[in-house]
Structure 1
């Protein structure tokens, strides 16, 4: 292999030279790494900060409107969560009437579901919706957060909901279908 040829110098101009100039900064010295966790001590965990929860109503009082319930007054959330996700998706795909979702949802969620807007993947296609594993987390007494995956036509879609204990049963107060 031959060495690259240098360009011919231009007459009347001096040839260029490379000169290394020392910098005026002191040389970098390695510093010890900053340790955020001390050896032998557990890593501190952040304090969980769940969303605001209204004060629970007392069932003995003469009150109008819904009464919030604690975990001891409610059935297991997993059964209600699976029934909610399955019933809602079947209603959005047209396999069951939307009125069957009403006992499981709050008035605002039911109004949004019955407004006619639905995800495109629910409106199109004829294959059935298969609900995968439904996960339930209870961050606060009387509140359950639900996540599930629905499969249709070989694609996966996320479903998330918030259940609150109202009048001795779980009701969906927020629902998001992706």
Structure 2
């Protein structure tokens, strides 16, 4: 088989098994997932939830960033001789917009006893489900 045909078939096979973009109309409502991810991120940073529990909804970069943030928070708690405690929080507001089909960008306002945080999340539709391609806890 000539190399050009072999390369074409290889690319075609990779395209079939690569993540497929999904239109918004084929995806579930994003708001419950946004609230769940925001609360989960607060609990991961507090040290009471394992970041692997959120890995299903996170792309690689937000996953790594959340692991790093959780590790830094754990070291800070260790330096102060504090143990991890379940945070008491309330989702105050979810503000979302859809800049294009299959994409939702949102800010989730989370109030804890000590402070109020804004969590910015970008969801993209892949393989008929939402995945967070960006997550920032501010």
TM-score (norm 2): 0.73
Give the match for residue 137 of structure 2. 177
Secondary structure at 1:139's aligned position in 2?
Answer: coil
Larger Rg: 1
Give the match for residue 104 of structure 2. 144
Deviation of the 1:158 alpha carbon: 1.1
Question: Given the superposition, is the C-alpha separation of residues 159 and 116 from structure 1 closer, same or farther in structure 2, using an over 3 Å criterion?
Answer: closer
Answer whether contact 2:108 2:118 (CA < 8 A) is retained: yes
Q: Which runs of 5+ in 2 are unaligned?
A: 1-13
Give the match for residue 64 of structure 1. 17
| Alignment map for 1:152-163 (pairs within 5 Å) | 152-163=112-123
Task: State which of 124, 127, 137 in structure 2 corresponds to 1:167.
Answer: 127
Give the match for residue 92 of structure 2. 132
Determine which structure has the larger helix proportion and give its number: 2
Cα distance in 2, alignment partners of residues 147 and 76 from structure 1: 16
The answer to whether residue 100 in structure 2 is matched with residue 100 in structure 1 is: no
How many residues are aligned here? 116
Determine which structure has the larger strand proportion and give its number: 2
Answer whether contact 1:90 1:129 (CA < 8 A) is retained: no
Cα distance in 1, alignment partners of residues 113 and 31 from structure 2: 26
Cα distance in 1, alignment partners of residues 43 and 70 from structure 2: 14
Cα distance in 2, alignment partners of residues 84 and 96 from structure 1: 12
Let me know the Cα RMSD of the aligned residues.
2.4
